[in-house]
Amino acid sequence: MPVICVDVMGSDQSPEVVLEGVRMALEKDKELEVLLAGADEFVTPFASKHERAKALVTTEVIAMSEHPANAVRQKKDASIVRAAQAVKAGEADGLFSAGSTGAVLTAATFGIGRIKGVKRPALTLILPGLGGHKTVFLDTGANADVRPEVLVQFAQMGKAFANASLGIENPTIGLLCNGSEETKGSELALSYHAALAEAAINFGGNAEGTDILGSRFDVIVTDGFTGNVALKSIESTGKFIMSSLKDAINSSKKAAFGALLLKDALKATAAELSGDSVGGAFLLGVSAPVLKGHGATSSSAVCAGTLSAANAVRANLIEKISSSIQLQ
């Protein structure tokens, strides 16, 4: 049975929202066990009512506004710090948190540790594409500045992740750039292209912005600065479209009836664009499956994230990433 440690206290939402998501996950996955890191008043009563849940009582919380590295260093009993330590100690196989991105990155990288040979972990999302295609996209914000050899590792990790999560045998890798031609891009982008072309990773060339939600590539890599800007642009476009649709829906009864028929499909698409359909973004490169949810998460997203972390354990994700790094 996979054991997933859930940070109950880190998100912008109340602990009750997180615990409801955990309850949903336990109901859906009868082999799942959870370790709940959080305040006694929340985790102990929940654990006493659920056979496959255990409490990890903590007394501190790292707020979104705090400096991540300083907070992780100073707050030894914070829920995310204790959760990472529990994974490191073998008390849990994976971790889900909707807390501060910086705190999760710091606690996981230094608390759990990196896979041998990995220079930098990367935040990774599975995005929807044309015709039902799924694209693995990384780095979405963990590393603003990346050397070419590190980007090659991102491609290796993304390839292993696409294989483990999507079942793609030999994923095609693309480099996010401002044109499909190999001569396009800044000097840094050209150095990325050269490094990827030399690596034995099934490199398919440059990917344009339109390919992120397309179907040309199975994995698209970039530095965390560019990736985060691209991701936020996609999210804001999705919000704009949804807002415009709501305005159109409210304009007439006929439009409102049509929207009612499309409601579930629109919600599913919005969840895929935000990462909520899998619970958030995976932090690839650390020695256990770690999934970072949105701060303003929902119970359904917590459920999806907990289940995704458990499925990553079952798919031997860490072993596959480790093998891909060691083979290069």
Residue 126, beta-bridge partner list:
136
Please give the average per-residue pLDDT across 63-91, as a whole number.
Answer: 95
Region of poorest pLDDT, from 61-70, 79-88, 95-104, 318-327: 318-327
Of residues 318 and 297, more confidence is placed in 318
Per-residue pLDDT, 258: 66
How many of the other CB atoms lie within 10 Å of CB of 114? 16
- H-helix or E-strand spanning residue 204: strand 203-207
CA-based nearest residue to 34, from 80, 87, 92:
92
**Is the four-CA dihedral 320, 312, 277, 60 of positive or negative sign?**
negative
- Asked, colleague to colleague, whether 1-118+285-317 and 119-278 share their fold, the answer is yes
Q: Encode pLDDT of 225-240 as tens digits.
A: 999 999 988 888 877 8
Per-residue pLDDT, 251: 74
Exposed/middle/buried for residue 70 (C-beta within 10 Å: 0-12, 13-18, 19+) = exposed
Q: What is the pTM of this model?
A: 0.90
Per-residue pLDDT, 245: 73
- H-helix or E-strand spanning residue 134: strand 134-138
**Four-way CATH pick for 1-118+285-317: 3.30.390.50, 3.40.718.10, 3.30.1300.30, 3.30.2130.10:** 3.40.718.10
Please say if the pLDDT value at position 274 is more than 60. no
Distances (CA, A) of 59 to 9, 49, 75, 230, 250: 10, 21, 9, 37, 47
| Domain boundaries, given as residue ranges, for the chain | 1-118+285-317, 119-278
- On whether the 119-278 domain is CATH 3.40.50.1100, my answer is no
Residue 37 corresponds to which tokens in the numbers above? 């890191």
Distance CA 35, CA 124 (A): 24
User: Which residues are CB-neighbours of 73 under 8 A, at least 6 positions away?
Assistant: none
Residue 52 corresponds to which tokens in the numbers above? 């496959």
Q: What is the 3-state secondary structure (H, E, C) of 36-62?
A: EEECHHHHHHHHHHCCCEEEEECCECC
